[in-house]
Each structure stands twice: as C-alpha cells, then as structure tokens.
C-alpha cells in the first residue's frame, strides 16, 4: 500500500475557471488511483513522502465522506511496516525514522481507529512511539529535532505535541519549555518563524499556534496583531500567500485559515472569495487540487485544499475538519472521548 | 510531491518505447537504491559506496535517508583519515579538510538546482558543524567564513529565499561564536549594512526588512547602549521610516497601507500617552471608514476595530 506521488496527469484544460462546483467523486477516484501508478518513475522518486501521502489522501477521503475508500487492513500493515527499532517511523519500509513520518503514522492510526495495533506483535505499544518522540526534545530550550541528526524547526515541535496528545502521553515531554520556545519564535508582526529570529511564515504560524492550542496556552497570543498579519495574506484573487509579496497557493488556505480559526478571527477575511479561488484549483476532469488554477494537481494540495474548504464552510458536502489537527472533527472527538 | 508552479498538461498516451524506457529507468533507480542500502547495512563505506550515494542523491535530493547514509559514510572516512601508522595529527586534519571541501563542492550544483530542498541545507550545516567539531578553530572558522560568501550569492539569485535567510542567520551566529568579542560586534554592524544594501536593491524585500529589525535590537544590546543612545538610534530609524511614508502618501490616497500605518501610529502614540485625544479618535474612525471601502476583503476586521474604539469612547465619557 503506497500512495503519495504526484503530480497527477490532469486533463481539464478547458479553462472553465468559472467552475464553482466541488467535484467530490473525481477527487475520490483521483486519490484511490494514486497507488496504481508504479510504472511511473515519479512514483519511486517520491517514496520518501509515502507515509505523509497516505495521511493526506486518507484525510481528504474522510472529509469527502468516503472514509472506507482505502483498504483498512492494508493501510495498517503498510504503516506498521514503516516502524523502526527505535519506535519511530520512516516514510516507507527501510527509510530512517523521523518526526514527520512518525506524526503521520499516529494520525493515520488514530483516523482509522487502529492505535491498538501498536500493542501487538511485541512492538512496544504506543509508549515506544511516544518515547521516540520525547527523546527528540532539547531539554535546554524545549525545542524538538526532526531526528538524531539535529535539525530543529517549529514543525517538529508541533508534530510532537500533536502525536503525543493523540496518544494521551503528553506528560513525557516538558510542555512549559516547549511553550516558551514557541514564544521565542514570535516576531513584532505578531506572527512566527521557523526558529527564534527568523522571518514570519504562514506555515510556521500554523505550527506555533497549533502547538500553543494543544498546550492550552492560546492566551499568550496577541490575537489582534497576529490576526491582522494573517488577514493580510489574502490577495485580490481571493487566495492566500504565505508571506508578504509572495505568490498565492491553495495550501495556504489551510495554514492561514486554520490559524485564523484557532484565534477566532476567521471572519477577518473574505471566505466566499477564498473558496472560489480554491475551487478554481481543482482539476474538474481528473480530480485533485493544484497550488494555483491550471497547474498540476497532487495529493498534498488536494488534502489542504479540501481541508481549507471544509474550514470555510462555504461549499457544502464536506465533513467538518479540526483546525488544530487537520483531521476530521468526528475522529478527534472520538479520540479524546476515551 | 507537492508540485508547485507546474502547468497542467493533457495526458499523452505513452508509446510502447516510452513506456519501456520509463520501466528501464525505474529498474536502474531501484537497483542503485538497493545497492546503496545493502552496502550501508554491511557498513561498507568505501569510495565506491560514496560514489553511488552521490549518484542517488543527484537523482533524488529529497531522499532524506540517503543523506543520513552519507553522514555515516563521511564520518567513517573522517575516522580513518590519516590512519596510517606514523601519520601526524596534522596530516589527519589535512585529510579531513580535504574531505569536507570536496563534500561542500558536491552540494553546490544540487543547491543551485533545488534551492528549496530542506535536506540539502541541513546536510550542509551538519558538515560545517563537523568541521567545527574536528578541526582547530581558525581552520573551522575559514569554512564558515566562505559559507557567508556563498549564502550571499544565493540571496542575490533569490532575495526572498526563506531557507537562505535562515541559513545566513545561523552562519553569522556561528561565526560570532568562533570569533573574538570585537569580531563578533563588527559582524553585527556588517550584517546591518548588508540588510541595508539588500533593502536598497529592492524596497519591498520583507525578508531584508525583517533581518534589519532584529539587527537593530542586537546592535543596541551588544553596544549595551544607554537609554539616550537607544533613543537616538530609534529616532533615526523612525525618522527614516516616517519620511518614507510621507513620500508615499503623495498622490496615493487610495493606498490602504497608508491608512493602516496612520491608524497604527496613532493607536501606539495614545497607548504610550495612556489615553486617546477625542480629535484622534475622530481621525481614526474616519480613516477606518476609508479602509472599509478600500479593503473589502478585511471588512470585518475594520468593523471589529471600530466597535472596540467606540466602546472605548463610551467607557471614557461615562467615567
């Protein structure tokens, strides 16, 4: 079972940008077919993203109301085949363990309600996965590394809190220190960078606000200032960019939109116009979403495009998404009801 | 995976020959991948293994596990550098210098072709950290100094590259740690001048503006400036910026950013003063009504601000 690879071979060049319908079934078919393209070199060149890809595809299918479109047992088997001896997960079998794929593995197992599988076959259970994650925290400043080689980034800090909270094992890490680290990444414009001192970036805002949200410390955020910066990401064609003066991209619908939702400022932007822009990024014939209208689709933009649309609530027919986890709300509710 | 900015094209049915060729490419790629994994699993870090790792990374620089293989292979070479009996520590250091030099060179064309690939930048930083770990400080410092030149070139090619700016910050931080206190202070001033130069080349380079903001604070900190000096510097900075805003205002009455700046400044001034003059209140409300017209996308934001201000007025007049 493997899934992530793009770009999609999209048709849909008719340029009917006025097309404002959600082509849900086309997207379902597009995602289901991703794993049948093993005769393309691109499929093999993107193996380092496979586990992320399954998370993207699976989440998109859930939001589209087709939660069973991927075979459950095969999904479980593939996820488990990516686990390494240290408890972490690699992108595909044989690939090194890394925070990014470990988080995807946890998210997938939670989504299909299969976390218990970790307890089988002497795998050491969820405790072992959580220990791998906790072992990547820098005890001095609270930040997290991606793996043993030392790269540090607020993406990994968010990922750690995301996965550990889903597993119910947050107490393995120093949450207050992690919170302090996130605060040290805040800039004068109210937004956040990849590490202390770096420029604000919408993707990093999502990770920092998501982390603070999981830690229950959104009270530390200057919501009006951050909301102002985030709302300035919307440009005239309705789409969002990730930084001032940069190109729009459908995936920022999610990074910016979910951040606005978390700080309760989603009404500071024009949702109708944003939804219209995202719909233009669909391939109406072959399914999938691209970064911008007329471009190649891929499963990454398909997931974040759909998640963004779900968040905005303008287009009908999508399941509700949780802005903190980018997973279906119903899944998050089930997970935390335990 | 995430294909950015690639135009969609009509799928063209592959000819049998094309199909055959693609299958052959896949086979080649898979066999190279298998060969590398097997050699690494057997801890066989020969020159041939390293060559195959280079080949694989050149085909697919996003393959993070292979970058880790490369780290293991290079570390092995470090540990055997100058390993022959009778070799001095000096010649060991020389071999390590050469290994690092060669590896840094190998990365250049990859960085040019894939300037946004996280894994290449990371690997490069790791390698430079190895120089710091294994070599005498002045030698390590030379590597980092040259790096500053490289990142300068990268930022000339793409002056908004997010990785490039973050990378520059890390290189400068390390150079400061590796130099004397005076060198460190000079470095901050030098970077401040660099940011100025980059802004001069392109006024809307937000990355350079951001860098400059952080450097102002740093300069003040390092010069352990007195309050007076701080004020003089900030006055200098603000004077420059206010002059720029005034220049922009002329003939640009429909520019929403000017109204936003005016509102922000007025709110800031009143915050410092502890209250807002009623004249300022009226002024801000009138700018807000302009903004609601000029900036319909963010209408609710301006309505929210208006509401807050009005409730403040009510609160102020009722007390």
What pLDDT was estimated at residue B8?
79
Mind listing the pLDDT tens digit for each residue in B240-273?
Answer: 555 566 566 566 667 787 788 778 877 877 777 7
Percent of chain A residues past pLDDT 90, beyond the cut? 90
Nearest residue of chain B to residue A235 (CA atoms): B297
Instruction: Identify all chain A residues contacting B59, using CB atoms and an 8 Å cutoff.
Output: 45
Mean of per-residue pLDDT scores for chain B: 86
More confident residue, A206 or B245: A206
Instruction: Identify all chain B residues contacting A272, using CB atoms and an 8 Å cutoff.
Output: none
**C-alpha to C-alpha distances, B97 to A83, B128, B144, nearest whole angstrom:** 37, 11, 13
Half-sphere exposure of B16 (CA within 13 A, CB side): 0
Residue with tokens 């055997």: B80
Half-sphere exposure of B83 (CA within 13 A, CB side): 6
CA A56 to chain CA centroid, Å, is: 7
Phi, psi values for residue B163, rounded to 5°: -65, -40
CB distance A53–B213 less than 8 Å?
Answer: no
Would you say A278 and A253 are in contact if contact means Cβ atoms under 8 Å apart?
yes
Would you say A134 and A99 are in contact if contact means Cβ atoms under 8 Å apart?
no
DSSP B84: S
Distance CA B202, CA B208 (A): 9
Judged against a pLDDT cut of 80, whether residue B181 lies above it is answered with yes
Least confident of A305-314, B10-19, B129-138, B178-187: B10-19
Mean of per-residue pLDDT scores for chain A: 93
Question: Looking at this predicted complex, what is its ipTM?
Answer: 0.90
Nearest residue of chain B to residue A151 (CA atoms): B122
Cβ–Cβ contacts within 10 Å for residue B248, how many? 13
CB distance A195–B166 less than 8 Å?
Answer: yes
Judged against a pLDDT cut of 50, whether residue B80 lies above it is answered with yes
Candidates A94, A247, A265; nearest CB to B37? A94
Mind listing the pLDDT tens digit for each residue in A123-161?
Answer: 899 999 999 999 999 999 999 999 999 999 999 999 999
Phi, psi values for residue A150, rounded to 5°: 105, -5
What pLDDT was estimated at residue A17?
44
More confident residue, B45 or B90: B45
Give the pair of three-digit tokens for residue A259: 């951040």
What pLDDT was estimated at residue B226?
65
Nearest to B290 by CA among B308, B305, B274, B276: B305
Candidates A53, A246, A269; nearest CB to B297? A269
Non-local CB neighbours of B278 within 8 Å, separated by 6+ positions: B313
Judged against a pLDDT cut of 50, whether residue A9 lies above it is answered with no
The H helix count followed by the E strand count for chain A is: 14, 4
Mind listing the pLDDT tens digit for each residue in A245-264?
Answer: 899 999 999 999 999 999 99
CB distance A291–B211 less than 8 Å?
Answer: no
Instruction: Give me the torsion for CA of A26, A27, A30, A31, rounded to 10°.
Output: -150
pTM for this entry: 0.90
Candidates A44, A249, A296; nearest CB to B30? A44
Distance CA A12, CA A167 (A): 42
Instruction: Identify all chain B residues contacting A188, using CB atoms and an 8 Å cutoff.
Output: 213
């Amino acid at each position: 079972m493997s899934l992530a690879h793009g770009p999609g071979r999209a048709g849909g060049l008719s340029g009917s940008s006025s097309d404002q319908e959600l082509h849900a079934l086309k997207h379902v078919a597009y995602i289901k077919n991703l794993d049948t393209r093993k005769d393309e070199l691109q499929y093999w060149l993107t193996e380092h993203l496979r586990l992320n890809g399954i998370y993207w595809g699976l989440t998109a299918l859930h939001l589209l109301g087709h939660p069973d479109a991927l075979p459950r047992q095969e999904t479980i088997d593939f996820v488990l085949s990516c686990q390494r001896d240290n408890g972490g997960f690699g992108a595909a079998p044989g690939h090194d363990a890394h925070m990014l794929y470990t988080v995807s593995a946890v998210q997938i197992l939670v989504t299909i309600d299969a976390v218990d599988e970790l307890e089988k076959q002497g795998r050491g259970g969820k405790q072992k996965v959580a220990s791998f994650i906790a072992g990547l925290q820098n005890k001095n400043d609270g930040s997290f590394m991606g793996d043993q080689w030392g790269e540090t980034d607020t993406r990994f800090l968010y990922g750690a809190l995301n996965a550990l909270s889903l597993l119910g094992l947050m107490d393995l890490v120093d949450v207050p220190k992690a919170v302090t680290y996130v605060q040290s990444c805040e800039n004068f414009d109210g937004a956040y960078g990849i590490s202390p001192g770096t420029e604000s970036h919408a993707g990093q805002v999502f990770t920092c606000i998501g982390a603070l949200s999981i830690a229950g410390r959104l009270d530390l955020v200057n919501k009006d200032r951050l909301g102002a910066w985030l709302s300035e990401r919307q440009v005239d064609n309705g789409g969002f960019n990730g930084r001032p003066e940069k190109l729009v991209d459908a995936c920022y619908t999610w990074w910016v939109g979910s951040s606005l939702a978390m700080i309760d400022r989603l009404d500071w932007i024009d949702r109708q116009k944003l939804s219209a822009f995202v719909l233009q990024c669909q391939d109406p014939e072959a399914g999938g979403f691209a970064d911008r209208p007329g471009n190649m689709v891929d499963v990454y933009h398909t997931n974040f495009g759909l998640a963004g649309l779900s968040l905005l609530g303008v287009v009908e027919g999508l399941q509700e998404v949780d802005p903190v986890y980018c997973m279906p709300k119903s899944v998050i509710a089930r997970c935390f009801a335990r | 995976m995430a294909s950015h900015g690639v135009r969609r094209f009509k799928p063209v049915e592959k000819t049998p020959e094309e199909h055959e060729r693609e299958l052959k490419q896949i086979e080649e790629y898979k066999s190279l991948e298998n060969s590398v994994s097997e050699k690494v699993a057997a801890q066989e870090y020969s020159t041939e293994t390293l060559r195959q790792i280079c080949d694989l990374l050149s085909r697919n620089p996003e393959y993070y596990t292979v970058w880790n293989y490369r780290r293991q292979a290079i570390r092995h070479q470090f540990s055997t550098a100058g390993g022959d009996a009778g070799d001095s520590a000096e010649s060991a250091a020389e071999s390590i210098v050469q290994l690092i030099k060669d590896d840094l060179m190998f990365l250049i064309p990859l960085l040019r072709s894939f300037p946004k690939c996280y894994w290449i930048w990371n690997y490069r930083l790791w390698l430079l950290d190895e120089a710091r770990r294994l070599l005498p400080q002045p030698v390590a410092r030379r590597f980092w100094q040259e790096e500053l030149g490289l990142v300068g070139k990268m930022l000339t090619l793409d002056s908004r590259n997010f990785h490039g700016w973050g990378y520059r910050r890390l290189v400068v931080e390390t150079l400061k740690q590796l130099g004397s206190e005076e060198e460190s202070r000079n470095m901050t001033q030098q970077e401040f001048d660099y940011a100025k130069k980059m802004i001069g080349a392109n006024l809307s380079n937000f990355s350079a503006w951001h860098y400059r903001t952080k450097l102002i604070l740093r300069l003040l900190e390092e010069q352990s400036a007195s309050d007076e000096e701080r004020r003089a510097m900030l006055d200098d900075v603000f004077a420059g910026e206010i002059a720029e805003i005034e220049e922009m205002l002329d003939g640009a009455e429909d520019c929403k950013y000017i109204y936003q700046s005016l509102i922000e400044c007025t709110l800031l001034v009143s915050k410092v003063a502890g209250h807002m003059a009623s004249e300022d209140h009226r002024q801000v409300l009138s700018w807000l009504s302009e903004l609601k017209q000029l900036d319909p996308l963010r209408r609710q934001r301006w309505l929210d601000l208006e509401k807050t201000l009005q409730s403040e007025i009510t609160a102020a007049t009722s007390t």
